[in-house]
Amino acid sequence: MANDVFRLAGKRSTAPRRLILEVLKSESGHLDAEAVHDRVKARSPRVSLATVYRSLAVLKDMGLVARHSLGEDHGHFEAVGDDPHFHLTCAGCGAVVEFRAPEAVGTARKVCAANGFALADIHLSVSGYCRQCRIRRRRKSGTAASKTGAGR
């Protein structure tokens, strides 16, 4: 199996790490640390949340996992696959739609080159309101300081 990814990266291949990576690969969605922890605990109850964070950090350093700030709130993690994609999120209900945008990659490369940077990561996330949320929104408009993303 491709369990040697760790060895090759000079890291140890441990059960928690393998499990976490497996979880992220199977659930193609975007899980936050807590969600990953839940999935992992189902199979290995003694794995701690701290280990999940530490492992995610390692996996990210290895380039196998990406972290996104989807709802502008806390982090979401995702296995890095073959083709890069980005995220469209609904500011109302939090729904997430993935989309491809090769142009964005080109843009990023150009900008990096122009500034002497070595490209590491591209984060393109678009937010808006889905149909449902636009309707809901029309009724109760301008109630109070709503959700900002400034927060929590």
Partner DNA sequence: CTAGTTGCAAAATATTTGCGATATG
Partner DNA sequence: CATATCGCAAATATTTTGCAACTAG
* Sites of contact with DNA (CB under 7 A): 6-7, 11-17, 32-34, 44, 46-51, 53-55, 57-58, 73-75, 144-145, 148, 150-152
Q: Which is nearer to DNA, 7 or 110 (CB)?
A: 7
Q: How many residues of this chain bind its own copies (CB under 8 A)?
A: 53
Residue 61 interacts with its own copies (CB under 8 A): yes or no = yes
Which residue in this structure is represented by tokens 């122009």?
114
Minimum distance, C-beta of residue 55 to DNA, in the bound complex (Å): 5
Q: Is 20 in the site for its own copies (CB under 8 A)?
A: no
Range 89-108, binding its own copies (CB under 8 A): 90-91, 97, 99, 101, 103-104, 107-108
Output the smallest distance, CB 82 to DNA, in A: 26
**By CB under 8 A, which span of 15-23, 39-47, 114-122 interacts with its own copies?**
114-122
Show the tokens assigned to 79: 């296995």
Q: Return the residue of 1, 10, 12, 46 that touches its own copies, per CB under 8 A.
A: 10
Cβ atoms of 76 and 67 within 8 Å: the answer is: yes
Asked if residues 69 and 75 have their Cβ atoms less than 8 Å apart, the reply is yes
Q: Which does 121 bind (CB under 5 to 8 A by kind): DNA, its own copies, none?
A: its own copies
How many CA atoms lie less than 13 Å away from 109 in the CB half-sphere?
5
Are the C-beta atoms of 55 and 16 separated by less than 8 Å? yes
* C-beta of residue 130 within 8 angstroms of C-beta of residue 89: no
- Decide: is 5 part of the binding site for its own copies (CB under 8 A): no
Helix (H) or strand (E) holding 97: strand 96-99
Instruction: Determine the angle formed by the axes of helices 33-43 and 49-61, rounding to 10 degrees.
Output: 110
